[in-house]
Amino acid sequence: MRTLGFPLPLGLSIVLLLAAGCATLDSPKPLTGADIVILAKSGKTAPEIVAELKRTDTILTLRASDIVALHESGVPKEVLDHLQHVQIEEIRRRDRQQHIYWGRLHGGFGFWPRGR
């Protein structure tokens, strides 16, 4: 095994390792409501549309009127149920992150420290 004739400084080695870790793969773009309608109108089944939503990590912030409009456009109810489920899970995930952050900031687990 051959080695370089000189050792790399530790700082440079760390920078090179971190730079290599920053290389990311292009992830697919999340679908829009219009994309979902197009899939539904093109004859895709509900499981196929849900699989595409999962593949693209699509999470839409939907109001009740948006859900009604998607339903009236022909989007299957199973797809609408999935969209609502992932929206709720995303809200819960964000809430947990805030709970952890604020808990650590105030010296507890989401509650103000007692005795202050």
What range defines the domain where residue 65 resides? 27-105
> For residue 68, what pLDDT band results from cuts at 50, 70 and 90?
very high
Show the tokens assigned to 81. 């149920």
Q: Does residue 18 fall inside a structural domain?
A: no
Q: Does residue 94 fall inside a structural domain?
A: yes
Q: Does residue 72 fall inside a structural domain?
A: yes
Model confidence pLDDT, tens digit, residues 10-51: 555 565 566 655 556 688 999 999 999 999 999 999 999 999
Q: Does residue 16 fall inside a structural domain?
A: no
Global pTM value: 0.66
Q: Does residue 77 fall inside a structural domain?
A: yes
Residue 33 φ/ψ region, left for φ over 0, alpha for ψ in the -120 to 50 degree band, beta for the rest: alpha
Euclidean distance between CA atoms 3 and 40, whole angstroms: 58
Domain count of the fold of the chain: 1
Q: Does residue 62 fall inside a structural domain?
A: yes
Q: Does residue 2 fall inside a structural domain?
A: no
Q: Does residue 11 fall inside a structural domain?
A: no
> For residue 89, what pLDDT band results from cuts at 50, 70 and 90?
very high
Q: In this model, does residue 111 exceed pLDDT 60? A: no
Judged on CB neighbours under 10 Å (0-12, 13-18, 19+), 79 is buried
